[in-house]
Chains A and B, each alone.
Chain A
């Protein structure tokens, strides 16, 4: 199903733009410009507003992302538990900085707010799945398992 068909599915739903964006991002990993322009047309909103929606929610990205989106919680409990060291390990393992994607298109590193798993900090998520009690030492193994 292409993005036009997905948008059409949600066109009549109140607040359907957000759901359509989720469904499209599921396929494309991000929301390209033409998707935002077309969504504005389908939902009869100015493009500036559709862009506002696409950038307001941290779950959406308007930049191309890797196949695996790794998000590190930057909220206080993870911070106290050593999220910074996990960030450093991930950056070193993948050779990219936070917010960037690897050249092979496999990995993207992003920050996220609390994902509600504070019983086992630091927490990362990979394509939405949580990994608990992450330590720098575990990072290489987690990455390898993805590949």
Chain B
């Protein structure tokens, strides 16, 4: 331990602490902008400067390690003046359009400007006037707003190993750009949206589709039907001022009805259905010499990654569409028929923790129903905006049920939102199918938690099935390289593109650190635990759809509507 004095407070802090960490330990929060708790130290914004006795120059608290006897002052007039000047300099290159910005009221620079009461700026405003990048259906970039903190670059290169973003130029000419300075769509970007969470300002955001929803609601002919992904509810609570997980599902449904959705259904229904299809696909591959290991296919960022970086392993991907797209093709066929609604009148909306889902819904092959299966995808953040606009008090709203046929779900579907959840859900079902006996303890806790790679072995009637789970694509890459080298010991691998799985998806409430993702994971297992049914194959509506419509897993209808194929992206460069 090292003894320091911070603003007159004597403290003993761990060796290797920075001033920023030491100050936090004693309850003093030093402002920062380029600092990110899960990333390497960048020390490029200088907002965190402090005075250190014996040093003529101010020190950056995020990078300066403490030493024995160090006397630190975090808020002298000199420090405050320096921080304010730094903010003014950053703001002199930043478009002054906070009111129109997607990150208004959720922006680190805006908060700092407010905290340091920047009222006027002595420096002339010089905005570069760079064009926005609107090339993808998932993300936009607004490079004028970039403060060059480089957190997005680290999210893209270190966390995800996608390397779509990098720096161009140096010094005052430096810019964050997609590879070669091209549009994002021409870069290796897989549209996971982790850069959105990393960005402290509004330089990267999701492409919004709220206006399309409002237009559909306004049209009396159109039946607006929505599906809700497993990870949305618990995180949406954060968007409307509640604790993670606090918004009850039926109140969420009631809120959507208030906004004007005609029917609220659940992606969890098709998550359960996915387990039936994917579980049987795994068994078929295991028994008939199919390509192994089989990879899950629920995460569209992961699918883009595989198609971009591992096109030689596409046969390993489960042919199951993601739950979103299964839902999309069923809502305009099976459900439309059950409800007596013409599919052409259905506007299919999906509420997702994800921005890659916007791209997935727009894939040309996702039209199995004869129409575009999912018309629009709204992120958790966009629904948060709609709810805040609606003026609803969610503590007073009476609960509402899901509409019939595709609204029922089990605990197994709930955990799809967590890394390891699809694997655990699959094991619950595969175990019972193969062993023909009841699984008493459904908790495969070995599949849970935030470790980058988890593995397990399950004995199924003498066949040991080895499984692995990875979240965050830097971890996925390790498993993929093993497969490519022919050295993978596994039969089944679950990959989620985003850290934590869908709870940390690119469309979730802006997530400043991994501890928030872990909090959401905990909320997921609480929800699973509370479900009366926790095995996908016991979902009554899933049984019904097989009786009335699909007839059997992997059957003719399933192949037509629930399965897909993948295409190598053939990117010009990586």
Contact = CB atoms under 8 A, between A and B. Distances in A.
Interface string B32-65: 0000000000000000000000000000000000
A80 B540 CA distance: 83
A55 B181 CA distance: 10
A40 B166 contact: no
A85 B165 CA distance: 39
Query: Which residue of B168, B187, B572 has the most chain A CB atoms within 10 A of its CB atom?
Result: B168
Contacts, number: 50
Contact of B187 (A48, A49, A58): A48
A47 B168 contact: no
Given A33-B180, A36-B180, A47 B169 contact: no
B572 A46 contact: no
Given A37-B573, A40-B573, A48 B170 contact: no
A46 B167 contact: no
Contacts of B157: 46, 48
A43 interface: no
Contact of A52 (B164, B166, B187, B574): B166
Interface string A28-66: 000001001100100000111101100111100010000
Nearest to B163: A46
Contact of B170 (A40, A51, A56): A56
Interface in A2-37: 33, 36-37
B305 to A, nearest CB: 14
B183 to A, nearest CB: 14
A52 B572 CA distance: 18
B179 interface: yes
Given A33-B180, A36-B180, A56-B170, A48 B165 contact: yes
Contacts of B573: 37, 40, 47
Contact of B164 (A33, A37, A48): A48
Given A36-B180, A51-B180, A51-B181, A46 B574 contact: yes
B52 to A, nearest CB: 31
A52 B166 CA distance: 7
Interface string B161-191: 0011111111000000111110000011000
A47 B167 contact: no
A51 to B, nearest CB: 5
Interface residues of B, number: 19
Contact of A48 (B166, B169, B572): B166
Interface residues of A, number: 15
Contacts of A62: 181
Contacts of B177: 51
Interface in B519-574: 572-574
B574 A55 contact: no
Interface in A109-125: none
Contacts of A33: 180
A56 B179 contact: no
Nearest to B170: A56
Interface string A53-92: 0011110001000000000000000000000000000000
Given A37-B572, A37-B573, A40-B573, A47 B179 contact: yes
B180 A49 contact: no
B151 to A, nearest CB: 15
Given A37-B572, A37-B573, A47 B180 contact: yes
Contacts of B572: 37
Given A36-B180, A46-B179, A52 B168 contact: yes
Contacts of B188: 46-47
Interface in B405-449: none
A35 B167 CA distance: 18
Contacts of B166: 46, 48-49, 51-52
Contacts of A47: 163, 179-180, 188, 573-574
B179 A51 contact: yes
Nearest to A33: B180
Contact of B169 (A36, A40, A46, A56): A56
Interface centre among B163, B180, B572 (most CB of A within 10 A): B180
A99 B170 CA distance: 16
30 contacts: A33-B180, A37-B573, A40-B573, A46-B179, A46-B188, A46-B574, A47-B163, A47-B179, A47-B180, A47-B188, A47-B574, A48-B164, A48-B165, A48-B187, A49-B166, A51-B166, A51-B168, A51-B177, A51-B179, A51-B181, A52-B166, A52-B167, A52-B168, A55-B167, A55-B168, A55-B169, A56-B167, A57-B170, A58-B170, A62-B181
Q: Which 9 A-B pairs have the closest CB atoms?
A: A48-B166, A46-B163, A48-B179, A47-B573, A37-B573, A55-B168, A47-B179, A52-B167, A52-B166
